[in-house]
Amino acid sequence: MKTLDVAGRKIGPGHPCFIVAEAGSNHNGSLAQAHALIDAAADARADAVKFQLFTAARLYPRAAGRSEYLGLPRSIYEIIEEMELPPEWLGELAAHAREKGLVFFGAVFDEGAADLLDEHVELFKIASYEMTHLPLLRHVAAKGKPVILSTGTAHLDEVQRSVQAFLATGNAELALLQCTARYPTPIEDLNVRALVTLR
């Protein structure tokens, strides 16, 4: 198993656990809230803070249907649109994270998001639901930076295919993240032994 070097931090066997504070899309459309999430990550002594970068227009058709998310019947498109992180925040948030001693990075869901995030990060994340999106994997891998690839919804053959596609770009800076895509995950479904297989 390879050791990754991210902003001077070693990630891999024999090194301290790399703790990521998941800010995700929990900024609720507020730049002040996004900064508060970074402060909370630093206060918790995390190593990194991760946001999500996506746009509703690239992920869903406007006619995607409705959802009862948080008990409010609205269109899925509107819900996702409200969760978008404005790209113009990236530089400011990245600078704040670095001032706090945190690695700033993000999960990207399409090639455009990866391009927007690239100048602000030293690390990318690919979410479970995108791990079989091979054009995205190749696009992000071609940037030559380390990538954390989440395996939450994938079968082992899909993980192998995605790893091969990534490595074929010449970038070997890849870490697999064991993930059970249930939140919160019941203890009996954690399957921590999958880490042995993923190694």
Tens-place pLDDT, residues 87-114: 999 999 999 999 999 999 999 999 999 9
pLDDT band of 70, cuts 50, 70, 90 = low
pTM of the entire structure? Answer: 0.91
In angstroms, the Cα distances linking 83 to 43, 60, 114 are 24, 13, 17
- Mean pLDDT, residues 48-60 taken together: 93
pLDDT, tens only, 143-165: 999 999 999 888 899 999 999 99
User: Beta strand pairing status for 174-177 and 66-67?
Assistant: unpaired
Q: Where are the alpha helices (DSSP H) in 44-188?
A: 56-59, 76-82, 90-99, 111-118, 134-141, 156-167
Return the amino acid letter for 37: L
SS3 108: strand
Domain ranges of the chain: 123-199
If phi > 0 it is left, if psi is from -120 to 50 it is alpha, else beta; for residue 44 that is alpha
pLDDT band of 5, cuts 50, 70, 90 = very high
